[in-house]
Amino acid sequence: RFDQLLESRRGRALLAWRCTSRLAPAAMAGRGGAAAEDVPLEAGTRLMVRWTDNSVHLASIVDTRPLKSTDDDGDAGAAGAGAGAGGGKADDASELPPNERKYYVHYVDHNRRMDEWVTFDRLLPETATAKPKPVEDDTKDRRRARQKRKASYGASEKETVDSSMAALEKEHEEITKVKNIQTIEIGRYEVDAWYFSPYPEEYCAGEKLYICEFCLKYMKKRKTLDRHKRKCDLRHPPGDEIYRDGHISVFEVDGKKNKIYCQNLCLLAKLFLDHKTLYYDVDPFLFYVLTEVDDRGCHIVGYFSKEKSSPEDYNLACILTFPPFQRKGYGKFLISLSYELSKLERRVGSPEKPLSDLGKLSYRSYWTFVLLETLRQSQGALSVRDISQLTAIKTEDIISTLQALNLLKYWKGQHIISVSQKLIDAHLATKS
């Protein structure tokens, strides 16, 4: 089981994360103070929470902590990457009154990036409902026991590995469900974090993490960052500049040659990506870092990574445009660059799955535009395979995109592109 689990890169990453993690599971608060009808404000309680725009939304309490943390705010200076899977030490809040606690809430039917710590004055305790207690069901217990016995005798090796992967995924989700970093300051920007990232524990006690925009080292205090900036002589990502157009430059960075930079990049990116576990094993990857250039240097905008050798023909493992630079076309540029590199290698490629929600939108938009433009410019009939050779897009991605546009028919065992020039122009008009 263990050997087969290691064959999966996802499995290796999760196991590496598990072994290096020093974070205890998030503490679940006790019964603290009473709300309406004696419903405790504890993990699992649902209630309405007021947003800063005064609108109210249903949320579930995930964790509680004292309003005033007793964590030491000492200054350890800049550090290299990935010493552990941080997450500031959580003090016991169960004995404190409700107004002396802060509450980590997840908004129902919203992405986890919206999760946040809120104070008691933003809660509407009168709307609180207790966490439902699980109903004991002897029938389910007996069925589960039979399934376990059956699995132990008759399960295939693949099912066993899948079960182990699922268990690791569940453990990973449990430990990463609470953001350990609230805000970062990088360059001219102060940015709210979206998700957990395994920064060393001692860097997660404060409200803000300070990051050098050139070398990506992280610090606990602004004065440490100011001192570091006077000494840091890096003004662009390490590696080779492979593209320049006006104020835009792209650098190819080898994860093996520039390990600390790439690990720091992964830790930073994880603050805005929910399902990636690549933090330490950066050696097999190349990182393509997109920057905006001015007289002060090359300022990081986003990046994508890809395996140096991918048996599955993945041309991209992870992609991110940092929040201050989103909705400016940079995501589409990075995707386009990944396919241009595939063309240079004379290979077709596809992004590694699963994609994030924003990644799915970006890829669907890119594929749609490229395929419609290719069909518009063609002088004769094109097959799916022809389009794949022209664009370096994998056939399955072409098929799924054309099916979503209702431009593909399945006839006599073959996929037939059914489209007129008028229909192509109409689709392109809606995209412009």
Question: By the 8 A CB rule, do 320 and 273 touch?
Answer: yes
Q: What are the phi and psi torsion angles at 49 (to 5°)?
A: -125, 140
Three state DSSP letters for 207-220: CEEEECCCCCCEEC
Task: Please check whether residue 110 is in contact with residue 57, taking contact to mean a CB–CB distance below 8 angstroms.
Answer: yes
3 state SS of 307: strand
Determine the Cα–Cα distance for residues 427 and 405; give it in Å rounded to an integer: 9
**With helix as H, strand as E and coil as C, how does 359-426 read?**
HHHHHHHHHHHHHHHHHHHCCCCCCHHHHHHHHCECHHHHHHHHHHCCCEEEECCEEEECCCHHHHHH
Q: Are 315 and 285 in contact (CB under 8 A)?
A: no
Q: Which residue has the tokens 């725009």?
A: 53
Cis peptide before 354 (omega within 30 of 0): yes
Number of Cβ within 10 Å of residue 105's Cβ equals: 25
Residue from 37, 100, 352, 396 carrying the catalytic annotation: 352
Q: How far is CA 277 from CA 7, 187, 215, 311, in A?
A: 15, 26, 21, 20
> Distance between alpha carbon 421 and the CA centroid of its chain, in Å?
39
Phi-psi region of 297 (alpha: psi -120 to 50; beta: other; left: phi over 0): left
Question: Environment class of residue 243 by beta-carbon count within 10 Å: exposed (0-12), middle (13-18) or buried (19+)?
Answer: middle
Q: What are phi and psi of 184, to 5 degrees?
A: -120, 155
Q: How far is CA 346 from CA 125, 170, 313, 336, 378, in A?
A: 61, 39, 11, 15, 21
Bridging pattern class, strands 314-316 and 350-351: parallel
DSSP sequence for 22-41? -PPPPPPP---SB-GGG-B-
Place of tokens 């606690």: 101
307 is catalytic: no
Alpha helices (H) along 60-156:
138-154
Residues serving a catalytic function are 352
